[in-house]
Amino acid sequence: MALSDSFLWGGALAANQAEGAWREGGRGPAVSDIAKYRPNVDPREYAIHHAHTVESITAAMADDDETYYPKRRGIDFYHRYPEDLALFAEMGFTVLRVSIAWTRLYPTGEETEPNEEGIAFYEGLFTQMRRLGIEPLVTLSHYDPPLALALKNNCWVDRGTIALFERFARTCFERFGHLVKLWLSFNEIDGIVRHPLTSGGIIEETVEGSILQACYTALHHQFVASASVTRMLHEMWPESQMGCMLTMLKTYPLTCHPDDIAATQAKDRLLYLCTDVQAGGAYPRLALNALARQGVEIPFAEGDAELLREHPVDFISLSYYMTLAESVDPDAERTPGNTVLGVKNPYLESSEWGWQIDPVGLRISLIDLYDRYGKPLFIVENGLGMRDELTAEGRIHDPYRIDYFRAHFREMIRAVDEGVELMGYTSWAPIDIISASSSQISKRYGFIHVDLDDLGRGSGERRRKDSFWWYQRVIATNGADLG
Ligand code: BGP
C-alpha cells in the first residue's frame, strides 16, 4: 500500500512565529509579544518554563524593542507571504497550515466588530493559497491569546472567554469559510499545564489557589469552546472539518520494572485526556479520579457534558518531534523535549536542544492514536531544529534534515500500510521561523533558509536548502521516492 492519491503534503507555520508586523494592520498585543530571547543559554535550558509576572509583562509592553523580542518581527511573513507561498508551490505543496492571530481581528479580544485590516490580510493570504492549489489548514488559536485578556482575568480561566472566542471563530467562518475547509481549534491544547501563559493567557502569580486547578479550569473552557465552534462550523459549512491537536509526547518505560510500566501508564492517561474529550466526547473516569487526587475539580456548567458528547471533532491532528522515557528512579538521567523534561532513552540520539530523535516512535504514536479513536489522523508538525551553515557559494547542505525526514516518512508510510487513515502531513516548519520555546531562528527547521540571525540581523533573503529539492521529489512521487 502507498499513500492515497488524496494525501496532502505541505508545511506548517504559526502567526506568532512567522508574521512579524506585531503592531501593523491594527493588530493588538498577544502574549507572544513578550517572549524574550535569552542569548548564551545552554539550548537544553529552553525547554524549562519561566513564568512571567505582571511586572515583567508591563515592562515588556513598555519596550518597543524588536531585537530581543523576535516574535514581534518573525520572518516578516506578513509582507513577504506571496514570495514564500510561491516557494511552497515550487516544492509542490497541496496543503499549508497557518494560524489566524486572534488579535489581528479583535485587538483586545473584547471588541464587538472585527478589525477589517486583519480580515483583509487573511483573506489575501487564503485567496493566494487557493490560487496556487494549496489547501489552507487553519489553526484558530496557536500560542497567541490576547494579552489584554491575560491581564484582565487570566483569559481562559474566565468562562466569559468562551463567548469571546465563539465571536472570533464565527467571524473566521463567515469571512474565510469559503476559502478554508480544514480547521484546528487549539494548537497542542494539552500544553496549557506546561506553559499556562502561552496557551491559556494565565499569569501564574495572579492565580488564586492552585495553578494546576487554574490550568484545568482554563482547559475545560477551551474544550467547551472547541466543541461549540465545531458545532458552529458544521452548521455554517457542513462539508468543512474541525480537528483537535495534541502534542504527541509518546513515553516509553525506561525498564520493564512494573513500577516503570505503571508510571508510564499514568503519563499516557494525561497525554490522551485532551483527545479523549475532544474526539471521544467525554472525560474518562480514571483521568477525572487522577485529577481529583491532585485536588483538581472540573468546573462543569449546565449543558457542558452534552455539548462535548454531541460535537466531537472530525479528525485528530498531532505534533510529533521526539519521544521520552519514564522511570520511578529519581536519579534517572533526564533530558529536555518539546516543552517538557523526560528521562533520557539510551537507545536514541539527541539534538543539540536535547530532543530525542525517534522515527519508529512516529509509527507507534500513529498506531496508538488510530487504535484508540478510529478517526482520521493528520500530522501537522514534525521536523528537526538544527543549526545550518551557509557556504561561501550561498548553499545550505542539510543532509541531517533529509535523513530525519526520510526516516520519519518511512515509518509514517509503514503505519499507513498497517491501516492507519492519514489525511496528510505538514512539516514544521517549511521555512526558518522563530522557535516557540527559545525565540531563536538559529534553531532552523526549514527547507528554505532565511538570512536572519537570532538578533534579527540579515537581509531576510530566502534560499533553497538541499532539502528543498529532496522534499520536492518526495511530494512529486507521493512519498514513493525518498532518495
Ligand atoms: C510545537 C509548537 C510549534 C513549534 C514546535 C517546535 O510545540 O506547536 O509552534 O514551535 O513546537 O518547537 P520550537 O519552536 O520550540 O523548537
Number of domains composing the chain: 1
Q: Does 328 fall in a domain?
A: yes
Q: What's the gap in Å between 190 CA and the centre of ligand 1?
A: 13
Instruction: Write out pLDDT tens, residues 239-257.
Output: 999 999 999 999 999 999 9
Split at pLDDT 50, 70, 90, the class of 271 is: confident
Which residue carries 458528547 as its cell?
309
- Predicted TM-score (pTM) of this structure: 0.98
Q: What is the CATH number of the domain that holds 240?
A: 3.20.20.80
Mean pLDDT computed over 132-142: 98
Confirm if 440 and 388 have CB atoms less than 8 A apart. Answer: no
The percentage of the chain sitting over the pLDDT mark of 90, rounded to a whole number, equals: 94
275, three cell numbers: 483527545
Q: CB under 8 Å to 221, separation ≥6 — which residues? A: 156, 157, 158, 159, 161, 162
Burial of 341 (C-beta count, 10 Å sphere; 0-12/13-18/19+): middle
| Most ligand 1 atoms within 8 A of CB, residue of 71, 319, 427, 432 to mutate | 319
Q: What's the gap in Å between 405 CA and the centre of ligand 1?
A: 17
Tell me how far apart the alpha carbons of residues 221 and 192 are, in angstroms, rounded to a whole number: 12
313, three cell numbers: 471533532
Residue 340: its pLDDT value, please? 87
Q: Does 28 fall in a domain?
A: yes
Q: Among candidates 398, 454, 483, which has minimal Cα distance to 75?
A: 454
Which residue carries 521516492 as its cell?
481
Q: Does 100 fall in a domain?
A: yes
Q: Does 2 fall in a domain?
A: no
110, amino acid identity = E
Tell me how far apart the alpha carbons of residues 452 and 122 are, in angstroms, rounded to a whole number: 25
CA-nearest residue for atom 9, ligand 1, is 436
Helix (H) or strand (E) holding 371: helix 359-373
Q: Does 208 fall in a domain?
A: yes
Q: Does 481 fall in a domain?
A: no
pLDDT at residue 308 is higher than 70: yes
Residue 450: its pLDDT value, please? 98
| Distance, C-alpha 434 to centroid of its chain | 13
Instruction: Write out pLDDT tens, residues 187-210.
Output: 999 999 999 999 999 999 999 999
pLDDT at residue 457 is higher than 80: yes
Mean pLDDT, all residues of the chain: 97
Which residues are paired to 334 by β-bridges?
Answer: 343
Q: What's the gap in Å between 148 CA and the centre of ligand 1?
A: 24
Tell me how far apart the alpha carbons of residues 379 and 318 are, in angstroms, rounded to a whole number: 5
Full residue range of the structural domain in which residue 380 is found: 8-476
Which residue carries 520494572 as its cell?
257
Q: Among candidates 234, 131, 222, 124, which has minimal Cα distance to 176?
A: 124
The reply to whether 381 belongs to the active site is yes
Confirm if 275 and 374 have CB atoms less than 8 A apart. Answer: no
pLDDT at residue 44 is higher than 90: no
Active-site residue, from 19, 135, 326, 381: 381
Q: What's the gap in Å between 14 CA and the centre of ligand 1?
A: 9
Atom of ligand 1 nearest to the CA of 435: 14
Tell me how far apart the alpha carbons of residues 121 and 103 are, in angstroms, rounded to a whole number: 13
Residues in contact with ligand 1 by the CB-under-6-Å rule are: 14, 17, 143, 187-188, 247, 319, 338, 381, 385, 428, 435-438, 443
Q: Does 201 fall in a domain?
A: yes
Tell me how far apart the alpha carbons of residues 109 and 149 are, in angstroms, rounded to a whole number: 7
Q: Does 74 fall in a domain?
A: yes
DSSP E strand boundaries for 210-312: 241-247, 251-253
Residue 1: its pLDDT value, please? 65
Residue 129: its pLDDT value, please? 98
